[in-house]
Amino acid sequence: MTAITGLVGLRPTPEAAVQVACPPYDVIKPGSRLAQLLAERPVALSHVTLGQDPKASLQRLIDEGHVISDEEPAYYAYEQVWSGGRRVGFFAAVAVSDYDQGEVVRHEKVFDEKVQGRIALAQDTGVTMEPIFLLTRASITVTLEDALQRLPALYDFTADFAGLNDLHGVSARVVRIDATDPAYAALSQAVAEHPLYIADGHHRYHTALRSGMTHCMSYITCDADIQGYNRVINGVVPFAQVRDKLELEPVPSFTTPPKHAFCLHSSDGTWLLRAQKVPDDVVGRLDCSILERELYPHLGLTHDQIIDPKHFDYYPESQLDQMQEQVASGTYELAVALHPVSIDELMAVADAGLDNPEVVMPEKSTFFAPKVLSGLFIYRHTFTQ
């Protein structure tokens, strides 16, 4: 049984929400144009999540009245609408449990050393500012749609990040579901009947677990769009030297390929490379695993190099043009587009990992879009004794 409860803590005023809300901290690269844009917004939550003095920055938002206290437990239904898509989910506090309990299920490896800074931030401020993105098999959409129609909008705005982030232009509509509303009990009961799967935010959940939090702020949905997570590559062995060893089919454009095939683009052309062998195991049959077995050895690349920026960088499916620019500029010699992982594939790996913790999704295999805005709620967490 997965226990959830309402959130208590701080939230922006309706007037300040559009300026407080920002992309997750881990997609704001230092020195980037996005980081510069947010630095010029004095009430953006990024001053807290990435600033030199997060506690003081948070207190300033409180003192200046941009965020207010809300101590009555509530869920928050959240509708996102973007060009060609829509998603509904809700924010809640999820009980933190060990991975082997099977209540919150991971699909990635997590590392204690990666969460020390986040643990320090949580302990220093006493709040959680970034939700964990969770998937459920529970039927919650009808309840959420009803709440979004019945209840007044707490926030209703379109995010403006000057085109520098996938959340730019995505509308956000949020309604508050208090504990007396029938939707509150319906959501609690529905979610309790199924495990929750971490889609995005594995190290945020690990932060909650390792710091001893009783609950973690989460965004729960049964609908998610996984984009292909593509890569630009510099091989140890140049691609031009090995191209004739591969069974390549020329294609007219660099696009997302069909399942178990890869679209390759270099300065000399664009091709389709089809998988030679698709095994039965849940990890081995993933396209990113096949690519690592069937292409990387030709390029002299090993698994340990896939997070080395000298050899790899990663782009979501929406940025195929930027990948081609990386090749045209000579920054990388090869761009490779993959077919997106499906929700069923992700859950199959996560379920297999319950029996064998070594079964996880490969690194850089999923990209969820759009992300969830940070700053729509700031959760006051509690710690176990």
Across 253-274, b (16+ Cβ under 10 Å) vs e yields: ebeebeebbbbbbbeeebbbbe
Instruction: State whether 218 and 182 are in the same domain.
Output: yes
Q: What is the pLDDT of residue 357?
A: 86
Instruction: State whether 194 and 267 are in the same domain.
Output: no
Instruction: State whether 176 and 282 are in the same domain.
Output: no
Residues 24-59: tens digit of each pLDDT = 998 898 899 999 999 999 999 999 999 999 999 999
20 contacts 45 by C-beta, under 8 angstroms = yes
Instruction: State whether 82 and 213 are in the same domain.
Output: yes
58 assigned to some structural domain: yes
Instruction: State whether 59 and 186 are in the same domain.
Output: yes
Q: What is the pLDDT of residue 112?
A: 81
94 assigned to some structural domain: yes
Residues 334-378: tens digit of each pLDDT = 999 999 999 999 999 999 998 898 898 888 888 888 999 999 999
Specify the number of domains making up the chain: 2
Instruction: State whether 112 and 172 are in the same domain.
Output: yes
Q: What is the pLDDT of residue 149?
A: 98
CATH number at residue 282: 3.30.1760
Q: What is the pLDDT of residue 20?
A: 98
Instruction: State whether 202 and 279 are in the same domain.
Output: no
Report how far apart, in Å, the C-alpha atoms of 378 and of each of 11, 68, 191, 307, 371 are. Answer: 6, 10, 22, 32, 17
Q: What is the pLDDT of residue 385?
A: 62
Instruction: State whether 190 and 249 are in the same domain.
Output: no
Residue ranges in the chain whose pLDDT is less than 70: 1, 385
CATH number at residue 83: 3.90.1530.10
55 contacts 125 by C-beta, under 8 angstroms = yes
In 10 A of CB 108, how many CB atoms?
A: 20
In 10 A of CB 326, how many CB atoms?
A: 19
Instruction: State whether 215 and 236 are in the same domain.
Output: no
142 assigned to some structural domain: yes
Q: What is the pLDDT of residue 173?
A: 99
352 assigned to some structural domain: no
Q: What angle do CA 238, 240, 244 make, to 5 degrees?
A: 125
Domain hosting 313: range is 229-340
361 assigned to some structural domain: no
Instruction: State whether 205 and 292 are in the same domain.
Output: no
Instruction: State whether 142 and 215 are in the same domain.
Output: yes
Instruction: State whether 132 and 41 are in the same domain.
Output: yes
360 assigned to some structural domain: no
